[in-house]
Chain A
Amino acid sequence: MMVVDDTRDTMPALAADVREPCIAAESLDAYFGASRVVRDVSFGVQTGQVTAIIGPSGCGKSTLLRCLNRMHETIPGARVEGEVRFDGRDIYAPAVSAIGVRRHIGMVFQRPTPFPTMSIRDNVAAGLKTVARRDRPSRRETDDLVERALKRAALWEEVKDRLSTSAVALSGGQQQRLCIARALATSPRVLLLDEPTASLDPLSTQRVEELVYELRSQVTIIIVTHNMQQAARISDRTAFMLAGELIEYAPTNAIFTAPKDPRTEAYITGRFG
């Protein structure tokens, strides 16, 4: 049973911004069985911004991210309480399908996950096949969409001559950018990145970071990272989580130069975590 209190005060972070947020969590709780790993989290993300979620391991930042496109519920025994508003609609409302939500809110994981049975082209086109048959793009349109997605993911030049070869032959960094291209191919409004550079070498990490920076004008990005320098480099706003709670959510500059909460300060100055 979902309990929503509409009279609750708006978060201070939201009040400071007059625009309607693109995606917003409201008193969100996430459970694995009986354990509550996300506790009463509310925050909103503006269109076209990069938001970083930081915090120590096990603080619930990945789980929070997975609640935003209804991936959390795919784990047996996991459930969500509260609301996630996307374009003003609660994605957990009974009439909303999880599949539709995930089509508009793309996700990239910690480890690259190219489909091993598919070619590079088919990997990028994989998401395009989920729409109803009559809305499905033709072969030619698919080729165009694949090319555009690979260009947006800064991978086109490296793979344009071997689109029909296996995707697992690519390097780890290329595979991760392929996964970003695959998520971008369906033109999602929001892109969720769950520690996308955790398994990459520094050079590949830099490429992915540059990519995030370039994509910010086209798609709203929320990135989970345990790398504070990364959060400082690429995000507009940063959320700090601790033990399932959202401790502080503010412009990145403010979080790293003048944190309001002593726990945030303790974490970013390296006293724990």
Chain B
Amino acid sequence: MSDLPRPATIARRPATNRSYRDELSASTARSRSRRHAVSHLMIGLTYLAALIAILPLILIVWHLVRQGASSVSWTFFTRMPAPAGETGGGMANAIVGTGILVVMASLVGLPIGIGAGLYLAEQRTAPLATLVRFLSDVLNGLPSIVLGIFAWQMLVRPFKHFSALAGGLALGAMMIPLVTRATEEMIRLVPIALREAALALGYSRWRTSLGVVLRTALPGIVTGALVAVARVAGETAPLIFTAFGNQFWSVSPTQPVAALPMQIYSYAIAPYDDWHTQAWAGALVLLGLVFVISLAARFATRSRFGLGGD
């Protein structure tokens, strides 16, 4: 009895195969149009999602250009703010102030961030690395106003006045976790084989880390750093308590300094129409600044040598 089904199965197999093939082609013909329809629908939905994702940016740019483009002129970049009631004037002090603050923030944030990222990538599993990674993520999620209050407590209150330095340090503290995590991710992309190749050549550990690993990851790290710079360049909250803003020309690190985001804020809430237009123009310039930095980041990634190159 037990032998019976086996020959039967073997005998039926070609027939089964043929019918399966017939079934397959039949079902293919039947469902081809349906599958294509579903495919087109899904592709259409992804296009729609992508469009919705960039829609806010398009609206913002369009709005800014419409409202502010007329005020963006040479004088906007070169002239000081006009006194209330007078028309014209520019935001030269705020543009330079933002530049000063960003440079200060970079001087603090980049070396510490890149160093910490290198440490995290090299000592992946050390208890301290796990702690640093966790705290860095916490710091990343910290509301920037909290960071501003902290900087005020540490750097403004003891000296009894606001200063560009305090603002720069507050922005630098914001940059640290961004740069740290970006650096760590980029260094992790460097194959271990490269590290081993350097060690096998007689490279010391630090020379391997700096000369081979960090250098290979550099385009990616530069991108991460520029993204962090673009991010802090538009920050307002940490500066309210630290750099404070300044209606006058000042490049002194110990004095309050103007910054584009703060200037935009104070002009936008002022009761003068002319100032509102200036605020729109300032926002447009700030957006342009961030755009240029992001563009630079893209080009840095496309270097000829290195991991980022395609």
Contacts and interface: CB of A to CB of B under 8 A. Distances in A.
A109 B201 CA distance: 12
A115 B125 CA distance: 26
Interface size class, chain B: 20 to 34
A138 interface: no
Contacts of B125: 76
Contact of B218 (A102, A117, A179, A182): A117
Contact of B199 (A102, A111, A186): A102
Interface residues of A, number: 26
A250 interface: no
Contact of B200 (A106, A115, A117, A118): A106
Contact of A109 (B193, B306, B307): B193
B197 A116 contact: no
B202 A166 contact: no
Given A111-B193, A116-B216, A117-B305, A71 B200 contact: yes
B209 to A, nearest CB: 13
B196 A126 contact: no
A273 interface: no
Contacts, number: 65
A226 interface: no
B201 A127 contact: yes
Contact of A166 (B198, B212, B304): B304
B194 A127 contact: no
A202 B58 CA distance: 55
Interface string A66-89: 000101001010000000000000
B200 A107 contact: yes
B204 interface: yes
A227 interface: no
Contacts of A230: none
Contacts of A116: 194, 216, 305-307
Given A74-B196, A109-B193, A111-B193, A183 B201 contact: yes
A126 B10 CA distance: 66
Contact of B202 (A74, A100, A179): A100
Interface string A241-256: 0000000000000000
A104 to B, nearest CB: 8
B197 A113 contact: yes
Contacts of B202: 99-100, 102-103, 127, 130, 186
A117 B197 contact: no
B304 A102 contact: no
B203 A130 contact: yes
Interface string B117-142: 00000000100000000000000000
Contacts of A99: 202-204
Given A109-B193, A111-B193, A117 B199 contact: no
Contacts of B203: 99, 130
B298 interface: no
B204 A117 contact: no
B207 interface: yes
A106 B305 CA distance: 25
B191 to A, nearest CB: 8
Nearest to A126: B201
Contacts of A127: 201-202
Most chain A CB inside 10 Å of its own CB: which residue of B125, B194, B305, B306: B305
Given A99-B204, A117-B216, A117-B305, A109 B199 contact: no
A115 B204 contact: no
Interface in A96-139: 99-100, 102-103, 106-107, 109, 111, 113, 115-118, 126-127, 130
Contacts of A118: 305
A116 B195 CA distance: 12
19 contacts: A69-B200, A71-B199, A74-B199, A99-B204, A100-B202, A102-B200, A103-B202, A109-B200, A113-B191, A113-B197, A116-B216, A116-B305, A117-B216, A117-B218, A118-B305, A126-B198, A127-B202, A130-B202, A182-B201
Interface of A: 69, 71, 74, 76, 99-100, 102-103, 106-107, 109, 111, 113, 115-118, 126-127, 130, 166, 168, 179, 182-183, 186
8 tightest CB-CB pairs across the interface, nearest first? A103-B202, A113-B197, A107-B200, A127-B201, A130-B202, A102-B202, A117-B305, A117-B215
Given A74-B199, A126-B198, 6 more contacts: A71-B196, A102-B200, A103-B202, A113-B191, A115-B194, A116-B306
